[in-house]
Structure 1
Amino acid sequence: FAMGSSNETSAYGQVGNPLDPARVPGGSSGGAAASVAAGTCHIALASDTGGSIRQPASFCGVAGFKPTYGRVSRYGLIAFASSFDQVGPLAHDVEDLQAVQAVIAGPDDRDNTTSHRPFATADVPAKLRIGYYAQCLDVPGMDPEVRDRTLAEIDRLRAEGHSVVPVELAHADLFVPTYYILSTAEASSNLARFDGIRYGHRAKEAQGVEDTYRRSRSEGFGPEVQRRILLGTFVLSAGYYDAYYGQGMKVRRIIRDNTLETLAGLDLLLTPTCPSTAFLKGQISDPVTMYLQDIFTVQANLAGIPALSIPAGQHSNGMPFGIQLMAKPFEDERLLAAARRLFPC
């Protein structure tokens, strides 16, 4: 059901990172990223609701792209959070991402959120205007080496003649809470259909309709999915809807407006993809700590803008890490072309 930042909660067993099987590949699309990194396939399609393509790409040392919301059809995708979900590719390099995106992008009558807007030109200025969030490099849990290597990439881009300037990261402390309030609310609604009668696993020992619901959902959903359904049901419940879901929608609008305002004077926004490299299996047991792995990626989903993770080097622990680039809505082709130039693989 596309939930979790580690792939430790898969119904089919834990996925190992092909670069170090003792470590996680990231999530939720860690299986797709691991398959590409291991050479099992050249490309993989995955879903990205809050970073589920980009975080595994960073952890596994591959490239991953989340298109603008509405640029790629989600027909056939099991819905997690419908106002966030987007399908995108994982590959070894940006050139392959471009090839896949050219095939999968465009309107689809079977997904009414897809846009008929024309594709942007892939022309990229010789010298780009790039913003980076200086304060994001000092968030709790930020790996010092990832921080330093990100700053080194910024210095390299400046040396190449690009304008790289610090910009304010407004409301950064609200990104993750807002994302988890809204996405779990939508998940609670979307996953209500998996009740053992209409869709999904049906408990064999159930007696009657109510018992079928209870047993089927208890058996069929893992602990992480159950946790998010319960959280989403809570924020949608009477007496809490306005305080949580209603406020969350207002904050999301503010985050989107601030993001677009920042991008208005820039070609790209740059951040680390993740605050750390791939962690060991079992290393993070606290759900809130796990959710904070998405601190840099959820902004693009909240704002509906395109974003990608591109390999940017290797940590002293031997694991790769990625740089995230974001652009204005529907400038997907320009973002990919810029990433290919700035970070040639």
Structure 2
Amino acid sequence: MSSPAATTTAADPLGYAFAVGGAILFSSKSILIKLAYAQGAPTETLLALRMLVALPVYLIIMVTILRRDPGLRRKLSPATVIPAMGTGILGYYISSYLDFAALNFITAQYGRLVLFTYPFFVVLFGALFFRERFDWRIVPGMLVAYGGIVLLFGWSLVSEPEGLWQGTLLVLTAAVTFAFYQLFARDRMRQLGTGLFTCIGMSTAALCAIGQSAVIGGIDAFTRLPPLVWVYGLGLGVFATVLPSFLMNAAIARIGPRANASTAAFGPIVTIAFAVIFLSEPFTVFHAIGTALVILGSVMFSHAERRARHRQA
């Protein structure tokens, strides 16, 4: 017998549209980061600049939400706000910093494809730590995708080995922390609502990033940035942070973290195209085969995941 909530989740086109839109916008992040690095922007300062641009937007939206719905104010207590802040730090500060740092060592294409494996961690950790059902029929897709990652790693080890291990470890850790963020975020959004949770989590992460930059680079670090870095920072703050974060969290609230993660296949394709066009990164036959395996594995994983959800419904 199907439950109404499960049936609605399994057939929610708007939720899936939010997920796809968020994935595509997030995919521009690594391109903008690489362009800013080429202008000499330090990792900590660039992450802080991204958050400095985004922070006022989240604060304004949070005040607007609380004014429009005074009932939400009663939900603001240490028991709800502190976990939301911690979840935001995990997903938007720690994971983001690891991803930013990884791009000092690896290409945007490779980094995006490795980060793209976070949906597998969502399912695995959901089963291990959150008592969610694990369907073994998703394993072939995971193996195919990681086969593509191994192929790309091997090609990079031969052609561009410098920093490859460090970059891969950093971006894999970013994928793990982002998977945990998605799993923790669901309950936080049920308590506070998608918009309010997003504002609290992102604002907290922004303060952490800005504080880190002030400690490492000094409070005048922003004044030393070239004007073009500010343009990239604006793009990172608005189009690669604010808009996709709301889209992704709205998708999680409507269709759940596992279904949201399964729609992320659009991101790497856009990133690869942008990396070749704007960064002049090479795209060899090994890139083509590796990317095809990752995308194929994701598609297999997504189909198995949807079938599992329909059976549960």
TM-score, normalised via structure 1 length: 0.29
Could you tell me the TM-score, scaled by structure 2's length? 0.31
Larger RCO: Structure 1 or Structure 2 (Cα < 8 Å, ≥ 6 residues apart)? 2
- Compare the two structures and name the one with the higher helix fraction: 2
Structure with bigger strand share is 1
